[in-house]
Amino acid sequence: MGKDQSTDSDHAIKGDQEETMVDQEETMEDEEETMEGLMSMYEENFKRFADGEVVSGKIISVDKDYALVDIGYKSEGQIRINEFKNDEGQIVAEVGDSVDVMVEWWDDEEERVILSKEKAAKVKVWEAIKKKYESEETIDGVVLSRVKGGFAVDIGVQGFLPGSQADLRPIRNLDEMVGKTFTFKILKYNQKRSNIVLSRRVILEAEREHERTATLESIYEGKVVEGIVKNITEYGVFVDLGGVDGLLHITDISWGRVKHPSELFTVGDTINVKILSFDIEKERVSLGMKQLAEDPWLSAAEKYPVGSRITGKIVSLTDYGAFVELEEGVEGLIHVSEMSWTRKIHHPSKIVNVGEEVEAVVLNIQPKSRRISLGIKQVVPNPWDLISEKYPVGTTIEGKIKNITDFGLFIGIDEGIDGLVHISDISWTKRIKHPSELYKKGDMIYAVVLDIEKENERFSLGIKQMQEDPWESAERRYEVGKEITGTITNVTDFGIFVELEEGIEGLVHVSEIAKEKIKTPVEKFKIGEVITSKVMSINKKERRIALSIKRLAIEDDQELLSEYVNNLRPPTSTFGEILRDNLQEKLNDNQKHEGDGE
């Protein structure tokens, strides 16, 4: 029993000892924790910071010169109050605000710490720049100003944007970029030299390539798309469809007339166009704008039937006529021959001007050829339709000589209508080489209406018709067999012309000049010589009179012979009777031939 009790006591003592040791260990651990906490508080309060180190602090007070910031040092740090002013000059620091600062300088003896909020911000910017550069991220910035070779850009610190990296193509007005915010990529940087080179073009090229791929996958012939005018030339407009450029040719801009694309577009305009053709290998896209509307020529024949009157604007002039715009895309031509019923128009500018509104009549329309023929003279009555009623044939009119030509006189009749007196209708009898021998421009004369040809627009007049034709009474005045006297006006190989009166001539043929044969009359006669002849025949239709000198000579011989025969005494022998009978027979034969006109 005693042994067992002793063992139990030992166990009890041992257990007490163990509990005491545990309590002692726990006490020691608590003391160590307390010491670590005190050391941590000491280090927190008295730690030192390296120059340029950026730390976080809290504003504990603000006065007119400094803001005090608790950064966990044995004394608070000071920041110049100017670093807390905004653009308007207002202080934006308040007690309790957290702020990142950089330790610029400290003095343990005076327990002073100088801090900088601005420099801390720059350090953070450079850290961000480094991170974005390494990860190839983009950064936003504001273009501050133009500098040599490019632009100064604010991305927290100042960076440089070369002009070649500002856009995909050269910028015409560089000042337009100043003050604007863009996204850039950092090409390179050097913090020690505070040098940062930026690029906007790299981002635009990447975006363009992405857009180009998407555009090429989505476009097809006939699709209507939206684009931006990128460039304008005299032959068309280049349109950015999203990384892919298409050409809108000048002929596909409008159904109407377009002199130059710049009249309708400016660079940067957003327009809708239709894909006309697409070559994916060459990446060539042809665009059309007029194809967005129906071709106006499809309904032109219904809208402008032949004979209808239209009103349009003169859009251009040529030597042969004027083009009139009836509506956008539909033009008609007024030929110079359709501008006046009476005037001969050498150029349309004599009648119409560009931009003028005119009324015209549709003469012909050919929708397939896209042609409309117009006339403006048809708007008013044709004076030639009325002229024959106003001046019937045989009417005597008075008019002024407007023009003289070698073939006649032009006499003003009505507005735009002239009548012609042909040179052959000036005189019945005078031989006129040129009308100017008798008349001059501006003379007032009387004439008779001879003929009016409306189809050919000819008005024929005559002056000689005011008097009787002397040839009508020529047969009475110049009877066959009559002896007449005249003056030689011309001598030819075949005969001589003799003027019997003014305007009436007769011809003595070479065979009728003398009984003997004559080679040429030139040897025997001269112009101006007065001769006597006998009228052999007269033809008033052909205005011819045949004369003979020979017949007159034969008659004289016959008269002498007859007188000789009649004076013969009665014959005393048979021979005398025979001679008398023969002479009488010969005389009778001559009289017979003369009666036959030989």
Q: Could you read off the pLDDT of 436-486 as tens digits, one per residue?
A: 989 999 999 999 999 988 888 888 999 988 887 777 777 788 888 888 899
**Is residue 527 within 8 Å of 487, Cβ to Cβ?**
no
Residue type, 539: N
Fold topology of 54-121: OB fold (Dihydrolipoamide Acetyltransferase, E2P) (2.40.50)
Distance CA 167, CA 201 (A): 5
Model pTM score = 0.46
- For domain 219-292, the CATH superfamily is Nucleic acid-binding proteins (2.40.50.140)
What φ, ψ does residue 171 adopt, rounded to 5°?
-95, 125
Fold topology of 136-204: OB fold (Dihydrolipoamide Acetyltransferase, E2P) (2.40.50)
User: What is the mean pLDDT, run by run of 10 residues, along the chain of 598 residues?
Assistant: 46 50 55 51 48 74 81 74 76 78 66 73 81 88 91 90 87 86 91 87 87 83 91 93 89 88 91 90 88 90 93 93 92 93 87 93 93 93 82 90 92 84 86 89 92 86 85 81 89 89 85 82 86 89 87 73 60 54 59 48
Alpha helices in 380-449 (DSSP H): 384-390
Quick: pLDDT tens for 182-232.
999 999 988 788 889 999 999 988 888 888 888 888 888 889 999 999 899
What class, spelled out in words, does domain 390-466 have in CATH? mainly beta
Distance CA 397, CA 416 (A): 16
**Is residue 334 within 8 Å of 375, Cβ to Cβ?**
yes
Which pLDDT belongs to residue 22?
47
Which pLDDT belongs to residue 319?
93
Residue type, 163: G
Cβ-Cβ contacts under 8 Å for 436 (sequence gap 6 or more): 404
Distance CA 236, CA 276 (A): 15
Which pLDDT belongs to residue 450?
92
Taking alpha carbons only, the member of 440, 439, 396 closest to residue 419 is 396
**Is residue 452 within 8 Å of 393, Cβ to Cβ?**
yes
What class, spelled out in words, does domain 305-379 have in CATH? mainly beta
- C-alpha 440: how far from chain center: 48
Which pLDDT belongs to residue 132?
87
The domain made up of 469-598 is a member of CATH 2.40.50.140? yes
Which pLDDT belongs to residue 189?
86
**Is residue 352 within 8 Å of 313, Cβ to Cβ?**
no
Distance CA 105, CA 49 (A): 9
Which pLDDT belongs to residue 38?
43
Count the Cβ atoms, other than its own, within 10 Å of residue 264: 17
